Amino acid sequence: MKFVLLILCYFIGSIPTGYLLVKKLKGIDIRTVGSGNVGATNAARILGRWGFITVFAIDMLKGFLPVWIIGVYYPEVVLAAAVLVVLGHTYTVFLNFKGGKGVATAVGVFLALAPVPLGVAAVAFGVVIYVSRMVSLSSITAAAVLAASVVLMDTSLSLKIFTVVIAAFVIYKHRTNISRIIKGEENKIEFNRKSS
């Protein structure tokens, strides 16, 4: 039963929310627009503010619900469930193993596992996005702050290690964004506009 649930976590994480929503509403393959990413930020370029909110919320729930449920019934494998749901999102079987960058799904995972450190990371995200208007820089900063917060606040060594690994993975997935940030070429987002 545990094995089946863990496999299910991967497939739940693999649901490509941004791709499906943009395809349904606009008839566009999100992978051909903007950054080519299937996450909430690129969806916002096509669908506007509410597209971002909708995709982010659903991707977050993909992380929260499976991890929370498994944490209640099978806490001994909850971290494995968390890993699989994030991997499902970033390497989705439904899009040739090319998915999002894992931010929204990781937010859902840590809402279930470490809500207080997540709140600290959310504040950091908000401050950086207000100043920079760059979702990528805000996500990278939040990942680093989350890892530091869990290391400082939590007593579980396994959760500390897991958080550092997930934060490093999210930052790694933003490596092309980091290159553009250094060059001053990273896109800035305006949620009050819709792409034509």
Domain span including residue 182:
114-189
Looking at the domain assignment, is residue 106 inside a domain? no
Q: What is the pLDDT of residues 68-79, one digit of tens each?
A: 999 999 999 999
- Extended beta strands in 8-138, E state: none
- Asked if residue 123 and residue 53 are part of one domain, the reply reads no
- State which of 38, 69, 99 marks the end of a domain: 99
For the record, the structure tokens of 14 come out as 């693999």
Predicted confidence band of residue 94 (pLDDT cuts 50, 70, 90): very high
- Asked if residue 125 and residue 77 are part of one domain, the reply reads no
- Asked if residue 80 and residue 20 are part of one domain, the reply reads yes
Looking at the domain assignment, is residue 3 inside a domain? yes
First-residue to last-residue Cα distance in the chain: 47
Looking at the domain assignment, is residue 194 inside a domain? no
Looking at the domain assignment, is residue 47 inside a domain? yes
From CA 139, how far away is CA 136, in angstroms rounded?
5
- Asked if residue 95 and residue 24 are part of one domain, the reply reads yes
| pLDDT greater than 80 at residue 190 | no
Angle at 193 between CA 190 and CA 196, to 5 degrees: 125
Mean pLDDT along residues 142-171: 94
Place of tokens 């393959």: 29
- Asked if residue 120 and residue 95 are part of one domain, the reply reads no
| pLDDT greater than 80 at residue 189 | no
- Asked if residue 119 and residue 41 are part of one domain, the reply reads no
Query: 107 Cβ partners below 8 Å, 6+ apart?
Result: 60, 63, 118
- State which of 76, 99, 122 marks the end of a domain: 99
- Asked if residue 85 and residue 126 are part of one domain, the reply reads no
- Asked if residue 67 and residue 127 are part of one domain, the reply reads no
Mean pLDDT along residues 132-157: 93
Looking at the domain assignment, is residue 176 inside a domain? yes
Torsion of CA 180, 182, 183, 189, to 10 degrees: 50
Q: What is the domain count for the chain?
A: 2
Query: 110 Cβ partners below 8 Å, 6+ apart?
Result: 117, 118, 121, 146, 163
Q: What is the pLDDT of residues 104-124, one digit of tens each?
A: 999 999 999 999 999 999 999
Q: Are 39 and 59 in contact (CB under 8 A)?
A: yes
Looking at the domain assignment, is residue 181 inside a domain? yes
- Asked if residue 2 and residue 94 are part of one domain, the reply reads yes
- Asked if residue 2 and residue 83 are part of one domain, the reply reads yes
Looking at the domain assignment, is residue 196 inside a domain? no
